[in-house]
Amino acid sequence: MKKTLILIIVMLTLLGCSSNKTSKMISVEKKMDIANDLFEKEKYNKAIPYFSEVVFERNSIYTPTAQMKLADCYYNQNKFTEARFEYEELIRLFADFKDIGRAYFQLGICYFNETLSPHYTQEETYRAISAFETFIEKFPFDSLKKDAIDYIQQCRYKLLMKKYYNGYAYYKLYDYSAALMYFDEIIELGNNNEPDRMSLYYATKIYLEREDHLNAKLTGQKLISRYPQTEEAEKITSELEKIE
């Protein structure tokens, strides 16, 4: 039994060595062809070793393209951390690559896909915004500019929701001063969205709790005028009628 096991290990080792020698004998152009074929068939994991070998050929004309494709392989497998590293390597080593703009754009998407729910820290969200802003600054006429702006808006909305959740957390802890600080920042933006509506609602409830009727009426009327058909507006209308 032991002899059989040893024989299998030896055979696998020899097979691996043989495979490595065969790989080294294949030309860079052939490796690129094999990798591209696997990539087109969406066999990204099998394509990665071939693209990696081409990337190590620093003087090859195929190297920048292989670097981009290597990053795309990881991206297409939702391995965003690995993809980011490879896009960053492309930007660092091949700044004049014809498709370098897309690398900057993809870098932003990788960060975007790594962002967490607004309940959690938003470091990746800030990095995504920074990456997309860098892309727009460097490539202002790129066809992907509109998409980059859309991603930035989504990121900023997530940051706004984070700010609202911070305020709501303080509200639940009865730390009304801290809660109002967050709610007021959102309200001052004058947007028409969920964080604005809910900030107006809870800010009004805080003023009512404090018996600050003047600010309760001012904030409550903003809520009612901006969101007249909502449950929050109905509740605040009822509350304001009690202090008339």
Checking if the pLDDT of 2 tops 60, the result is: no
The CATH number for 200's domain is 1.25.40
Give the residue numbers spanning the domain of 215.
Answer: 174-244
Distance CA 106, CA 191 (A): 29
pTM comes to 0.84
Q: Would you say residue 109 lies in a domain?
A: no
pLDDT digits (tens, 9 = 90+) for 11-63: 444 444 434 443 567 889 999 999 999 999 999 999 999 999 999 987 889 99
Q: How many domains does the chain have?
A: 1
Domain assignment of residue 230, yes or no: yes
DSSP for the chain, please give it: -HHHHHHHHHHHHHHHHHHHHHHHHS-HHHHHHHHHHHHHTT-HHHHHHHHHHHHH-TT-TTHHHHHHHHHHHHHHTT-HHHHHHHHHHHHHH-TT-TTHHHHHHHHHHHHHHTPPPTTS--HHHHHHHHHHHHHHHH-TT-TTHHHHHHHHHHHHHHHHHHHHHHHHHHHHTT-HHHHHHHHHHHHHTT--SHHHHHHHHHHHHHHHHTT-HHHHHHHHHHHHHHSTTSHHHHHHHHHHHHT-
Distance from chain centroid for Cα 139: 20
Q: Could you tell me if residue 106 is inside a domain?
A: no
Give domain status of residue 188, yes or no.
Answer: yes
- 150 within domain boundaries: no
In this prediction, residues 217-229 reach a mean pLDDT of 97
pLDDT for res 19? 42
125 in any annotated domain? no
Residue 162 lies inside a defined structural domain of this protein:
no
Q: What is the per-residue pLDDT across 65-120, written as a single tens digit (0 to 9) for each?
A: 999 999 999 999 999 999 999 999 999 999 999 999 999 999 999 999 999 999 99
Residue 158 inside a domain? The answer is no
pLDDT score for 14: 40
106 exposed, middle or buried (CB, 10 Å; 0-12, 13-18, 19+)?
buried
